[in-house]
Chain A
Amino acid sequence: DAGITQSPRHKVTETGTPVTLRCHQTENHRYMYWYRQDPGHGLRLIHYSYGVKDTDKGEVSDGYSVSRSKTEDFLLTLESATSSQTSVYFCAISETRSNQPQHFGDGTRLSIL
């Protein structure tokens, strides 16, 4: 199994608070991704990174920011959490961008009350 660790695994917080989710990899892969999964929508890309300090927006990036200061860590921040951001968040990594598999973490279940 690919070495991907997401933390925390579960979090409950209140509307308006900042939240940071962490994805840590031990594979030294260049590409890292954050997705969210909601009923009826499947997985949707939030942000991705193609190297240290290199990030770009995905399909549903509003309300989220990311940072990647080291190859192994990709952080997803909700500056001011809203109830619509209640979701399951998955991190993924891949060695190259096109045509290589993405390997996913086990997810973070985030509830915003």
Chain B
Amino acid sequence: DAKTTQPNSMESNEEEPVHLPCNHSTISGTDYIHWYRQLPSQGPEYVIHGLTSNVNNRMASLAIAEDRKSSTLILHRATLRDAAVYYCILRDAYSGGGADGLTFGKGTHLIIQP
């Protein structure tokens, strides 16, 4: 899977929007962009994924750059419960053979101030 680059940490205030960036300059045409988050002492939790178009769900929005070399996870109104490590992961839609797990980097540690 292609590599992603995320800031080590970000800080935001409660009830404000949060924009978490991810760079993936070597993304291939069949790579989907997935976001997971991991709250303290819990397993990772799926947030959202997309290929080319922006995506929205009940948890967040995903904005994908036109050249697909970067993306942004948007939390529209952060709460204290959103404090977690956020992982941006590329996943080939046609991955075949070999190990097929997710490749987690170090992610972005999001701190929410009350």
Flag whether B14 is at the interface (Cβ < 8 A): no
> What does the 1/0 interface line of A37-48 toward B look like (CB < 8 Å)?
000001111001
The answer to whether B104 and A102 touch across the interface, beta carbons within 8 angstroms, is: no
Interface residue from B34, B43, B96, B106 paired with A101 (Cβ < 8 Å):
B34
Flag whether A22 is at the interface (Cβ < 8 A): no
The answer to whether B104 and A42 touch across the interface, beta carbons within 8 angstroms, is: yes
Interface size on A, residues (CB 8 A): 25
User: Which B residue sits closest to A45, measured CB to CB?
Assistant: B101
Contacts of B65 in A (CB 8 A): none
The answer to whether B44 and A58 touch across the interface, beta carbons within 8 angstroms, is: no
Q: In whole angstroms, how far apart are the Cα atoms of A50 and B100 in the complex?
A: 10
Contacts of B98 in A (CB 8 A): 56
Are A106 and B101 CB-contacts (below 8 A) given A97-B95, A98-B91?
no
Query: B-side binding surface: helix, strand, loop or mixed?
Result: loop
User: Which B residue sits closest to A59, measured CB to CB?
Assistant: B99
Q: In whole angstroms, how far apart are the Cα atoms of A57 and B101 in the complex?
A: 10
Contact-residue bracket for chain B = 20 to 34
> What does the 1/0 interface line of B16-50 toward A look like (CB < 8 Å)?
00000000000000001010000001111110010
Smallest beta-carbon distance B37→chain A, Å: 11
The answer to whether B44 and A43 touch across the interface, beta carbons within 8 angstroms, is: yes
Contacts of B102 in A (CB 8 A): 43, 45, 92, 102
The answer to whether A101 and B46 touch across the interface, beta carbons within 8 angstroms, is: yes
Flag whether B10 is at the interface (Cβ < 8 A): no
Contacts of B99 in A (CB 8 A): 45, 48, 56-59
Which of A31, A97, A98, A107 has the most C-beta atoms of chain B within 10 angstroms of its own C-beta?
A: A98
Are A59 and B101 CB-contacts (below 8 A) given A42-B106, A99-B49?
yes
Top 10 A-B residue pairs of the complex, sorted by shortest distance between their CB atoms? A45-B101, A104-B43, A101-B46, A42-B104, A43-B104, A58-B99, A99-B93, A90-B43, A104-B44, A98-B95
